Amino acid sequence: MEKETDNNKEKRQAREELGFASLDKFRPARTGAAEAIFCPGKTSLQIAEIMRELAEIHPDENIMATRATAEDYQVVKGLVPEAVYDTVANVIALVRNQCPPLGEGNTIAIVTAGTADIPVAEEAAVTAELLGNPVDRIYDVGVAGIHRLFDKLDRIRDANVVIVVAGMEAALASVVGGLVSSPVIAVPTHIGYGANFEGLTALLSMLNSCANGIGVVNIDNGYGAACLASKINKRA
């Protein structure tokens, strides 16, 4: 519950307008999650100041910044000392953990084709957890050795939503999509040889999946996939 003196309130309202950023106070009520900071193109100081303000505006919510560098984190820590940094997911987070997490029946399975897809998968996993969802990580089960996938099919089928993270030809999304009844969210990654064109091939492949019921997000957008998965979970 938000509690504050009038004085604080005024200060905070003023701060919602940073000059370089218009914070979105009502986003949790409107769309179910607080605004996350997408770091590329912002200075470390801008990131830190936005984070501090979001922390004040939403005192009970988890606050996060994606695609953050170690340098960004150094600056953020100066203004938001409790912030933590996940070096695989490249996420800076301020964790409050006050809302009770969802139960096992709402597990999100995050499946990767290869080891190199893990940073994107971890962006998804960390986001999903910050949004209150239990996560089951199932990594490196690409179709070149399809038995690895079948070994873990039960875990994938037990999930309420499945996120498939894959680069190269991203065939894993289609194979999983044909084997489960839950909604599948596909995240193409930029991993691959030349003609992957920085993830374009994986993206197109997932969009053209012969398995129906797959929703695709942008290349390497683990954050977006987790947001969608979490919204689905909260419908359940």
Supply the minimum distance, in Å, between the C-beta of residue 159 and a second copy.
10
Does the protein bind a second copy through residue 141 (CB under 8 A)? yes
Give, as ranges, the residues between 155 and 174 that touch a second copy (CB under 8 A): 160-161, 167-171, 173-174
C-beta closer to a second copy: residue 80 or 113: 113
Min dist. Cβ of residue 47 to a second copy (A): 9
* Of the candidate residues 12, 15, 24, 69, the single one contacting a second copy (CB under 8 A): 24
Residue 86, C-beta contacts closer than 8 angstroms, at least 6 positions apart? 92, 93, 122, 126
Instruction: Give min distance, CB of 215 to a second copy, in A.
Output: 2
Pick between residue 5 and residue 15 the one whose CB is nearest to a second copy.
Answer: 15
Query: Which residues, numbered 53-112, are part of the site for a second copy (CB under 8 A)?
Result: none
- When asked if residue 128 is in the footprint of a second copy (CB under 8 A), the reply is no
Alpha carbon separation from 1 to 57, 60, 98, 115, 130 (Å, rounded): 12, 7, 10, 41, 18
The residues facing 166 across adjacent strands are 188
Contact 62, 93 (CB under 8 A): yes
What are the C-alpha distances in Å from 122 to residues 7, 86, 173?
Answer: 40, 9, 17
Listing DSSP states for 195-212 in one string gives GGGGGHHHHHHHHT-SSS
| Element at 111 (helix H, strand E) | strand 108-112
- Taking the C-alpha atoms of residue 117 and residue 220, their distance in angstroms, rounded to an integer, is 9
Among 42, 48, 58, 90, binds a second copy (CB under 8 A): 42
Among 63, 64, 93, 113, binds a second copy (CB under 8 A): 113
Nearer to a second copy, 34 or 83 (CB): 34
176-235 binders of a second copy (CB under 8 A): 177-183, 185, 188, 190-221, 223-224, 227-228, 230-235
Q: Select from 12, 21, 96, 158 the one that contacts a second copy (CB under 8 A).
A: 21
Question: What's the start-to-end Cα distance of the chain, in Å?
Answer: 25
Q: Is 187 helix (H, G, I), strand (E, B) or coil?
A: strand
* Minimum distance of a second copy from residue 202's CB (angstroms): 8
